[in-house]
């Protein structure tokens, strides 16, 4: 292997580690994890007075995210509070905080699950392959995230603002921790309708145990706002047969937004 080929191979291996969430090297030299340590020799008990046993460290105090969220009176305040929040371990492995994209005050608010690799790089939700498909879906019903008219615009966010390592699903604890911020986000954005994309978004917002296949296309109400769940664009990319159901949901959404 040439020097150039070796460099590119090493760089690709390093990128795999970065995408998995690794952000620092622990030691300067490798450690052999397969070598068993030598057994320790038993030492006779000392007659000296035993050292006092230190008290266990107290458990970390849980942060009341509901109180933090309630204290935010504007979207800018909410963004600042969430960006400064250190209670979620996902923040440590993410490159960027992903708050929202689109037009604040838009008639439609879209909620996804969590940032992916491209979203983490750019600091915006839905900018990878799923986001490109979402933009085409919105355009098909006359909407766009960057539209100047609020009636034709979309405002986009996620349940979780930091990318989980290796794109794993957010845990139940992580979702429960961040949910008050999301619900306050909805209250402050005050859209005319909500589009909940995928299982995590739907279950987090609606607090239901039913799956997206059963619930999609069924209207609910959240904070006095009509909400409709639908398949996540990533699911449509994996299984194009679901697109006809997503299209039906989009038509129902457009009808509601048009006031029909």
**Structural domain boundaries in the chain:** 65-257
DSSP H/E element including 76:
helix 75-84
Phi-psi region at 3: left, alpha or beta (left = phi > 0; alpha = psi -120 to 50): alpha
CATH homologous superfamily of 65-257 equals Uracil-DNA glycosylase-like domain (3.40.470.10)
Q: Is the pLDDT of residue 44 over 90?
A: no
What tens digit of pLDDT does each residue of 201-221 get? 999 999 999 999 999 999 999
Query: What pLDDT is attached to residue 59?
Result: 39
Say how far residue 203 (Cα) sits from the centre of its chain.
14
Q: Return the number of other C-beta atoms located less than 10 Å from residue 176's C-beta.
A: 12
pTM for this predicted structure: 0.77
Please state, rounded to an integer, the average pLDDT across all residues of the chain: 87
SS3 216: coil
Q: Each residue of 11-35: pLDDT tens digit?
A: 667 776 767 666 666 656 666 655 6
Crossing angle between the packed helical segments 172-189 and 75-84, to the nearest 10 degrees: 160
What percent of the chain lies above the pLDDT cut of 90?
75
The pLDDT confidence band at residue 259, using thresholds 50, 70 and 90, is confident
- Give the Cα separation of 51 and 82 in Å (integer): 44
27 versus 131: the higher-pLDDT residue is 131
């Amino acid at each position: 292997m040439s020097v150039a080929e070796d460099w590119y191979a090493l760089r690709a291996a390093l990128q795999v580690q970065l995408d998995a969430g690794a952000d620092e090297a622990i030691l300067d030299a490798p450690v052999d994890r397969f070598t068993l340590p030598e057994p320790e020799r038993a030492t006779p008990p000392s007659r000296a007075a035993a050292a006092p046993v230190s008290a266990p460290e107290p458990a970390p105090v849980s942060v009341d995210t509901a109180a933090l969220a309630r204290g935010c009176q504007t979207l800018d305040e909410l963004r600042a509070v969430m960006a400064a929040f250190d209670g979620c371990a996902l923040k440590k492995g993410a490159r960027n905080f992903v708050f929202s994209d689109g037009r604040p005050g838009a008639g439609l608010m879209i909620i996804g699950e969590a940032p992916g690799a491209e979203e983490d790089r750019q600091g915006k939700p839905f900018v990878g392959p799923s986001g490109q498909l979402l933009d085409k879906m919105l355009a098909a019903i006359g909407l766009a995230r960057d539209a100047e008219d609020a009636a034709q615009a979309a405002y986009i966010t996620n349940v979780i603002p930091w990318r989980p390592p290796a794109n794993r699903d957010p845990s139940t604890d992580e979702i429960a921790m961040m949910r008050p911020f999301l619900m306050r986000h909805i209250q402050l954005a005050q859209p005319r309708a909500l589009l909940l994309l995928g299982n995590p978004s739907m279950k987090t917002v609606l607090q239901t145990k039913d799956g997206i296949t059963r619930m999609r296309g069924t209207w609910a109400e959240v904070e006095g706002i009509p909400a409709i769940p639908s398949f996540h664009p990533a699911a449509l990319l994996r299984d194009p047969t679901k697109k006809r159901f997503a299209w039906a949901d989009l038509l129902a959404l457009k009808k509601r937004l048009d006031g029909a």
